[in-house]
Amino acid sequence: MIDPDRLRDALAEARERVDEAALRSGRPAGSVQIVMAGKYVPADQAPALVAAGVGVVGENRLQDLLAKRAVVGDGLVFDFIGHLQRRKARDVLPVVRLIHTLDSEALAAEIARRAEGPVRLLVEINVADEPTKHGIPPSDLDAFVDLVSERHPELVIGGLMTLPPHQAAGPEGSRAHFARVRDLAERLRDRWSPRHDLADLSMGTTQDFVVAAEEGASMVRIGRGLIERSQVG
């Protein structure tokens, strides 16, 4: 079971580490948001997240998101951080603040078809071009943004998201990948502002979120490390 007090303490410690990393990168404390990865939390324990002061929860699966939302209502804000199947876009759009994982023109078309006004999204980058992962390879990113911009005026690219390869060498092994995604976003921002704002970088998980914050992340997705520290019984 999740103890809300322990979770609050774990969040505060993570917040401190993220703020220190932001300061090292020349940004103010508070400039990096913690998105709590919800896949480690059963729906019946979602009230503990509310009690602990969790703000935004990132879900990988629609059914998990809906189950938690049924329990806590508006007590939590939800993002979608997993691979989104086109057929589920209709149900995801009304219940999330942000989709982190736009990874194909077909998905962009489906989201645009279901949109009721402008929709801000993050493009998922397959930063190491791994065949087993979803996302747009860096070499295809410009063409992808061109296509989305031409075909779907209601879609706004709010930034980039990535999950780098697992690093046996530890968090430092992810640094170059995070820096590359930051550089991609800066180049796109120069080209596309104000059509796309590209203000956000969703990078870093439990094992490497401090490095991600140092390299420019505006959102870090932390779950396992927080839950492990907050369990009782």
Q: What is the CA radius of gyration of the chain?
A: 17
Euclidean distance between CA atoms 177 and 181, whole angstroms:
6
- The DSSP annotation for 104-171 comes to -HHHHHHHHHH-SS-EEEEEEE-TT--TTS-SB-GGGHHHHHHHHHHH-TTEEEEEEEE-PPP-TT-G
Average pLDDT, the chain: 96
The answer on pLDDT for 217 being more than 80 is yes
Instruction: Map out the domains of the chain as residue ranges.
Output: 4-230
Asked if pLDDT for residue 13 goes beyond 80, the answer is yes
CATH fold of 4-230: TIM Barrel (3.20.20)
The pLDDT of residue 190 is 95
- Output DSSP code: residue 232: -
Average pLDDT for residues 80-98, to the nearest whole number? Answer: 97
Query: Averaged over 17-41, what is the pLDDT?
Result: 97
What residues form DSSP beta bridges with 156? Answer: 120
Predicted TM-score (pTM) of this structure = 0.96
pLDDT at 232: 86
Measured on CA atoms in the order 72, 76, 77, 80, is the torsion positive or negative? Answer: negative
Q: pLDDT per residue over 161-205, tens digit each?
A: 999 998 767 899 999 999 999 999 999 999 999 999 999 999 999
- Contact partners, residue 71, CB within 8 Å, separation at least 6: 43, 44, 46, 47
pLDDT at 200: 98
> Percentage of residues in the chain with pLDDT exceeding 70?
99
Joined together, the tokens standing for residue 184 give: 């991609």
- Mean per-residue pLDDT, 114-137: 95
Position 168 scores a pLDDT of 60
67-77 tens-digit pLDDT: 999 999 999 99
